A and B are shown apart, each in its own frame.
Chain A
């Protein structure tokens, strides 16, 4: 039995560009041995990947794995399997679990649950105790366990005084504060984007400004404190513009946008299907265009999934009562390849290199495909088309809004630390 495997005949694509090359992986050491055209494959297992791209494994800075507490919707294991099938080799689990990931004990639990998962599972930590927005969570004890992103995701930190102190404290620790930007008082319980569709449908809306006000506030506080901040799921044109201006000013700010915010608009809510209810809400055509531009020019550093599993029952509630969120890990790469219209080398930046940096994982993920590097890879066939079937997901939930969509680009293999965790589109663990 050979210890090395060669991904043969593919096109390697990473931050340095595209090139025809074979990739030899040492499975036991979890490393790439060498990369080059026409490698000598004697003594190695050969995996024919001709026609496919071999790229660094994807990294998601924003996934809800629901464990502990909501295991009927997802577990760390099933969520990580979705991730592996989607080409991801690392995900950051959001802290809005029950209990919340707001102390070392819960961080340890999540990391333990993820230790045998087919994808590296990292935990984010809450900024405030129980995500209640009232008292700082013990960030240092969580940072000591490797937590790099802190967020109360699902809610924004409403109190600007508290947010200022959180930034100052986080700066000392060298960690990044991530924010779900939504001013509750202005959102006022709105369940979708406020505009012509919310008015027509009679569903209470929330204005774009409820996001933008907090983006503006946090950019100002970042300037005040010198903290490194990350804006989660940017969804409006004005938010993109503010992030662009802040970067031009030299602020240490990064941003992510989700696949649904560059593929869907508020018009989808006309079906009254809670599958299209998400926070922040689906916005206008102009916002979608701005998100795409922001991803193309690098204003937005990362595509995130905001993978948010919810049970069938909860997604059959009235729109106004259903929880927000949609699945994303298995469809993100194909949606980006089909609808984003940016070159593969840029896609690698937004889906692997950029998010790995944001999550503090740049030593292990989002690396060049080169000899000596960790063997965390995604192999995707750009010529393969497939139709999304909600019943075929590896998630415990079925709440994808893309059922019936035909997408271009299918993940064939995922390699995690040298191990083929997904082979020919099938999860091996």
Chain B
């Protein structure tokens, strides 16, 4: 495996390895000097055809904490915007000698296409309505951290599943780890068919609120009204928004998650994100550790490994200067 394109490509032992690595990297991130020389000499390029400051920063932070050289390909101001094809761009970047490409694109399948044009590891940082595997990994890692295990958890994924790469990756990963998933959305926001999906479906958030361990809210895009998928954001909030009133009906011990960025006042009540059982900040923190794990797993010496690597030793003074 030369990259991470989908959550489904990960076997359960891969996921365990990544989670164990992420545990170590969380420890690294809590150090006074949160940096290790694990990927010193490796070059990671972030190539975001679609803007996503938070995901890009998370990946770049992860790569820097592993002492990789990190470059941002400035798509907006580059030759891509002057009509250069993606393939020409990739072949140009590839010729410079790089180890990993972190790719975000608004169209499904672009990381797959790119993987055919480069020898570098390609990491899918979100492709259209297809997949966002590191988001699913950090979400599952956060659930495991909070509950001890993902197996047996009841998870409601609420909102625009139809257009959501986060939902697709999470369904694949969480189901493989033994969670029970319920998709909660109006039929207009569900995929055209759910044949073969390991999920149950509800069109009522109120019916599932009291029984699930995790309420996972998806971002509601405002352009969905123009596509006749919901009549108004007001009506969406009325049926599927996690208001303070609804949050109070959740099962004791249940948690709230959101991949960000949040539309406060739409899918999540303005103050709900601040509740003690909202794990949104944990997700962001864990995101860096999980992406460190993915980068190390793909690029670390000897390829994928399970042992605690010696590279996790404190970074030397020379390396520290790079921070």
Contact = CB atoms under 8 A, between A and B. Distances in A.
A320 B107 contact: yes
Contacts of B86: 316-318
Contacts of B109: 201-203, 272, 318-319
A200 B195 CA distance: 10
Nearest to A269: B109
A204 to B, nearest CB: 7
B128 interface: yes
Interface stretch (A190-198, A294-302, A348-356): A190-198
A196 B196 contact: yes
A195 B196 CA distance: 12
Nearest to B168: A202
A321 B107 CA distance: 8
Nearest to B195: A196
Contacts of B227: 188
A113 B153 CA distance: 68
Interface in B40-87: 85-87
Contacts of B201: none
A79 interface: no
A207 interface: yes
Summarize A's interface: helix, strand, loop or mixed: loop
B112 A203 contact: no
A199 interface: yes
B105 interface: yes
A362 B192 CA distance: 45
Interface residues of B, number: 24
A304 B109 CA distance: 30
A205 interface: yes
A124 B168 CA distance: 45
B128 A320 contact: yes
A138 B127 CA distance: 45
A318 B105 contact: yes
Given A195-B192, A195-B193, A319-B107, A202 B128 contact: yes
Contact of B107 (A199, A273, A318): A318
Given A316-B113, A318-B113, A320-B107, A202 B192 contact: no
Contacts of B130: 201-203
A149 to B, nearest CB: 34
A204 B106 CA distance: 12
B85 A316 contact: yes
B136 to A, nearest CB: 14
A272 B112 contact: yes
Interface string A201-214: 11111010000000
Contacts of B87: 313, 316
Contacts of A205: 192
A207 B192 CA distance: 9
Interface in A40-77: none
A321 B191 CA distance: 21
Contacts of A316: 85-87, 113
Contacts of A313: 85, 87
Nearest to B191: A199
Interface string B142-165: 000000000000000000000001
Nearest to A203: B108
Given A202-B128, A313-B85, A320 B108 contact: yes
Interface in B248-279: none
Contacts of A202: 108-109, 127-131, 165, 168
A216 B227 CA distance: 25
Given A316-B86, A317-B85, A194 B192 contact: yes
- Which residue, B85, B107, B194, B227, has most C-beta atoms of chain A within 10 A? B107
Q: Return the 4 tightest CB-CB contacts between A and B, nearest first.
A: A202-B130, A272-B109, A318-B107, A202-B129
Interface of A: 188, 194-196, 198-205, 207, 271-273, 313, 316-321
6 contacts: A195-B192, A195-B193, A199-B194, A203-B109, A319-B108, A320-B128
